[in-house]
């Protein structure tokens, strides 16, 4: 399934932050503490906001979520007995999926990405995310709900939402990130 970008940003203006997270966000400097600089890839959940096409590809016991931005490939293990406790954290985390009717439910943890959003909301190593990808009945939109539980950052779970619009003929293209020359 190839999907183009659609309406709806993922981020909130206000979050139920812990005192430590409020202080970390207040001291964050967008010029020096970048979420992702230049052509460096982004991690979870930041990568899920990007406005480029996405594609789901079934590969054995996994579904690979391909995102055009940074040529990202996020593996969702669909094996019911998949265990990640001994695997090292990654920028995208370790994801395990299951089906609830037409909804793909993806639980992600072991995330080695420092931020929840591009405004410096910190993310701890104990962050767990449950994403739900649900197509509309007519297949023209893919709704995404992400619930983040991170007791070091939030005083309660946070729910974020966005959607993608189906665009026939849209493809995930190579990203080919190019940094602008200095002085331009």
Residue 180 binned pLDDT confidence (cut-offs 50, 70, 90): low
* Arch. (CATH architecture) of 2-165: Beta Barrel (2.40)
Candidate from 61-65, 135-139, 164-168 with smallest mean pLDDT: 164-168
In this structure, how many other beta carbons lie within 10 angstroms of the beta carbon of residue 72?
22
| Non-local CB neighbours of 82 within 8 Å, separated by 6+ positions | 61, 96
Q: Supply the pLDDT for residue 146.
A: 97
Query: What pTM did the predictor assign?
Result: 0.88
| Non-local CB neighbours of 80 within 8 Å, separated by 6+ positions | 98
Reply yes or no on whether the pLDDT at 65 is more than 90.
Answer: yes
Q: How far apart are CA 5 and CA 49, in angstroms?
A: 10
Choose between 177 and 89: higher pLDDT.
89
Give the three-state DSSP class for 20.
helix
Q: How far apart are CA 46 and CA 61, in angstroms?
A: 26
Which among 39, 36, 38, 46 has a CA at the least distance from the CA of 70? 39
Q: What is the pLDDT of residues 9-60, one digit of tens each?
A: 688 889 999 999 999 999 987 766 666 556 778 899 999 988 888 999 999 9
Which among 121, 141, 120, 143 has a CA at the least distance from the CA of 132? 143
Q: How far apart are CA 64 and CA 141, in angstroms?
A: 19
Q: What is the mean pLDDT of the chain?
A: 88
Q: Supply the pLDDT for residue 176.
A: 82
Q: Supply the pLDDT for residue 118.
A: 85
In this structure, how many other beta carbons lie within 10 angstroms of the beta carbon of residue 121?
24
């Amino acid at each position: 399934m190839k999907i183009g970008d659609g309406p709806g940003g993922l981020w909130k203006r206000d979050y139920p932050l812990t005192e430590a997270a409020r202080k970390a966000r207040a001291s964050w400097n967008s010029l020096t503490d970048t979420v992702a600089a230049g052509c460096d890839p982004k991690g979870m959940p930041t990568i899920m906001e990007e406005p480029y096409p996405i594609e789901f590809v079934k590969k054995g016991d996994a579904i690979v979520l391909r995102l055009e931005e940074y040529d990202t490939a996020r593996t969702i293990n669909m094996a019911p007995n998949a265990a990640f406790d001994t695997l090292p954290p990654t920028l995208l985390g370790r994801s395990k999926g299951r089906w609830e009717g037409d909804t793909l439910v993806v639980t992600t943890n072991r995330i080695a990405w420092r931020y929840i959003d591009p405004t410096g909301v910190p993310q701890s190593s104990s962050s767990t995310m449950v994403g739900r990808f649900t197509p509309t009945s007519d297949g023209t939109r893919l709704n995404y709900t992400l619930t983040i539980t991170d007791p070091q950052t939030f005083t309660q779970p946070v729910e974020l939402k966005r959607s993608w619009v189906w665009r026939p003929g849209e493809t995930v293209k190579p990203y080919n990130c190019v940094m602008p020359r200095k002085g331009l």
